[in-house]
Amino acid sequence: MKVNVHYSNLHLDELYFSGKTSVVIDVLRASTVIVTALANGAREVIPVGTVDFAMKVSGNAFGGQTILCGERNTKKVEGFNLGNSPSEYKPEIVSGKSIILYTTNGSRAVVKAKFSENLFICCFNNLPAMAKHLLALNKDVEIICAGTNGNFNLEDAVCAGRLIKEMEIENPDIEISDSGKASLVLNKDFGKTIKKMLKETEHGKLLSENGFGADIKDCAEFGTTDLIPFYLSGAIKKLEAGTQNNPVNENKSS
């Protein structure tokens, strides 16, 4: 089993992912929002690559069951129902709803990897469960850090390193690419106090400046849920307990 890390997806073609098992990480804040929304009862999260497409999808949806969510420059997009703070995704607001999510980097990274055979979403909240699930799946893994505007960011790289570390503890034989080894070093150096690390990143500082400093605490929570979000046919849903793989692949192997 080989684990590889991409610190940006800008250089990758969508078709690179076909047949691959991929994990998208956008700690601040899209992957944390996706995990929170599903944990609080959202039916699904529909990631989109542009605000226009978000509007189009919501225009075709049944009223009341769909909410438009996400951010531009960290702030709620005009006309959207929710921004990109995990605390906004309360059970009474998201339960049973389809969430159309546009974010600057995270939702777009998921869309980029949509041809993956298995596509999962990870943040610190669900990281131990994600590590266990990937080990059980026993396939080569491509970790995609959403990064910031096509560039490296520290928080996603540290999260990738922590994910690999958790996997390596259980299976010391996993093969780790050079970029994966670099993420392990970053996790060792910066990952001891997740909240402090997040606060001191460029994006963490921007969030604080823009009034979203409280989100950092939510994004730093480690292993608070076993929820595994997986993408299938345009939507991210919660993997039901006891399911090894996503439903499409179970069908393929049966």
Interface positions with ligand MLT (CB under 6 A): 26, 28-30, 71, 74, 84, 103-106, 146
Of the two residues 3 and 100, which places its CB atom closer to ligand MLT in the complex? 100
Going by C-alpha positions, the residue among 148, 216, 167 that lies closest to residue 23 is: 167
If the CB atoms of residues 72 and 165 are measured against ligand MLT, the closer one turns out to be 72
Tokens of 242: 């006891």
Between CA 184 and CA 45, with CA 49 as vertex, the angle to 5 degrees is 80
Cβ closer to ligand MLT: 111 or 184? 111
**CB of 149 vs ligand MLT, minimal distance in Å:** 8
Q: Could you tell me the smallest distance in angstroms from the CB atom of residue 85 to ligand MLT?
A: 8
Q: Given the DSSP bridges, would you call strands 75-76 and 66-72 parallel, antiparallel or unpaired?
A: antiparallel
Q: How far is the CB of 101 from ligand MLT (least distance, A)?
A: 9
CB closest to ligand MLT, residue no: 103
Residues 190, 194, 196, 200: what is their CA dihedral angle, to the nearest 10 degrees? 60
Which amino acid, 136?
Answer: A
Residue with tokens 């009223």: 63
Verify cis geometry, omega within 30 degrees of 0, for the bond prior to 72. no
Q: Is the four-CA dihedral 228, 251, 141, 233 of positive or negative sign?
A: negative
Rank residues 112 and 184 by Cβ distance to ligand MLT and give the closer one. Answer: 112
Q: How far apart are the first and last CA of the chain?
A: 23
Closest approach of ligand MLT to the CB of residue 93, in Å: 17
Between 120 and 245, name the residue whose CB sits nearer to ligand MLT: 120
Minimal distance, residue 36 CB to ligand MLT, in Å: 12
